[in-house]
Amino acid sequence: MDAGNRARGTNRACVRALWEEWVDSFLDYLRRERQLSPHTLNAYAVDLNQFVDYLARADRLEPARWDASLWEGFIYYLRRRSMSESSVARKLSAARAFLRYLHRRGTLSEEPPEALERARPHRALPNTLTPSEVRRLLLQPPLDNPLGIRDRAMLEVMYATGLRVSELLGLRMEQLNLADRVIRVQGKRGRERLVPLTETATYWLQRYLSEARPKLYPKRERSDCVFLNERGGPLSRIAFWNKIKLYAASAGITKNVTPHTLRHSFAVHLLSGGADLRAVQELLGHSDITTTQVYTQVNLERLKEVYKRSHPRA
């Protein structure tokens, strides 16, 4: 490699390092000003690192090299990695928000290229369980040990409330009001909401707290987390995810079941029972009702299936 090529390579490395610093600055802004959750921040970090990688590979780290084809190139870069349209749309949105942030703070002297006019991607219908499948799933945890009682309580609470898995695992003792059968939930961006508990979920939660949880305390200290692992610390998302996979398999459920499946099922079953869409939005903690409306599509799809099976001319 001659001196000129070495110098250009060194310069590209320096520019890329500068972009990575800007990404860190943007993530810090999202954490401090918009109070996004660690999970959402991690998603932004992955998306923006892919955007910077695209800029480096396409030799577009310098804004002078940008034009309207910037976004077309990024879309092509993402699609070559077999990403879904919803993932492509999310990564484009993250990249545009990032560039707008850099322009507002004066890092970029010129506005980024205009966004492409693209149709909003079709949102895949959420995977849900039938009421019968939910019952089978809830019956799987063994009740002869503290961890099984804990798992039963967690599944009952999740299906009864529609909590996000992060909200469930982040529950603290002071958020429980079992006398009134209510949980105070700390949702996204620090928004709080009150979610009622069913009588059954309250029973299993009380049983866990009285019978199982005291046996999970470490001898040295106590945690104020509601749901503990076998060492007395907070239960992780991966551990809970693995538990649900295990119980779904033992229940003979062939669908792809994740913790979020119970949240989806909670919403669909409420709407099927006649619940108001606004009420479901409030219970789920959605800031925008269009997010909740995806569950009405599930009901429509089921109605179509029933119609096809039942109507003689369907």
pLDDT digits (tens, 9 = 90+) for 257-304: 988 899 999 988 888 888 888 888 888 888 777 777 777 765 555 556
Which of 44, 159, 247, 295 is labelled catalytic? 295
Q: Is residue 110 part of a domain?
A: no
Of the candidates 169, 206, 171, which has an alpha carbon nearest to the alpha carbon of residue 192? 171
Whether residue 79 sits in one domain with residue 158: no
Taking the CA of residue 22 as centre, how many other CA atoms within 13 Å lie in the half-sphere pointing to its CB? 24
C-alpha to C-alpha distance for 183 and 51, rounded to whole angstroms: 40
Answer yes or no: 286 catalytic: yes
Please tell me which residue in 91, 164, 243, 264 is annotated as part of the active site.
164
- Chain centroid to Cα 221, Å, comes to 31
**What pTM was computed for the model?**
0.61
Q: Tell me, yes or no, if 263 is annotated catalytic.
A: yes
Q: Which of 184, 188, 215, 245 is catalytic?
A: 188
Exactly one of 91, 96, 263, 264 is catalytic; name it. 263
Q: What is the CATH number of the domain that holds 89?
A: 1.10.150
Q: Is residue 154 part of a domain?
A: yes
Residue 295 known to be catalytic: yes
| CATH code of 229's domain | 1.10.443.10
**Does residue 112 lie in a domain region?**
no
CA atoms within 13 A on the CB side of 287: 6
The one catalytic residue among 100, 193, 245, 260: 260
27 with 138, same domain: the answer is no
Q: Which of 104, 120, 147 is the last residue of a domain?
A: 104
Please give the tally of structural domains in the chain.
2
Return the half-sphere exposure (C-beta side, CA atoms, 13 A cut-off) of residue 170.
14
Q: Domain residues for 187?
A: 131-310
Q: Is residue 206 in a domain?
A: yes
Same domain assignment for residues 183 and 56? no
Distance separating the N- and C-terminal Cα atoms of the chain: 70
CA-based radius of gyration for the chain: 24
The answer to whether residue 135 is catalytic is: no
Q: Give residue 124's pLDDT band: very low, low, confident or very high (50, 70, 90).
A: low
Catalytic residue among 123, 207, 286, 302: 286
Is 217 domain-assigned? yes
Is residue 5 over pLDDT 50?
A: no
Could you tell me if 137 and 82 lie in one domain?
no
pLDDT of residue 181: 94
The model's pLDDT over 210-246, given as tens digits with 9 standing for 90+, comes to 999 999 886 666 778 999 998 888 888 899 999 999 9
Partner residues linked to 17 by β-bridges: none
CB contact at 8 A, 64 and 106: no
Asked whether residue 202 carries a pLDDT value surpassing 90, the answer given is yes
CA distances from 32 to 28, 255, 306 (A): 6, 39, 49
User: What's the sign of the alpha-carbon dihedral 6, 12, 16, 21?
Assistant: positive
Shared-domain flag, residues 216 and 266: yes
Q: Are residues 44 and 186 in the same domain?
A: no
Q: What band does 149 get if pLDDT is binned at 50, 70 and 90?
A: very high
Length of the chain measured in residues: 314
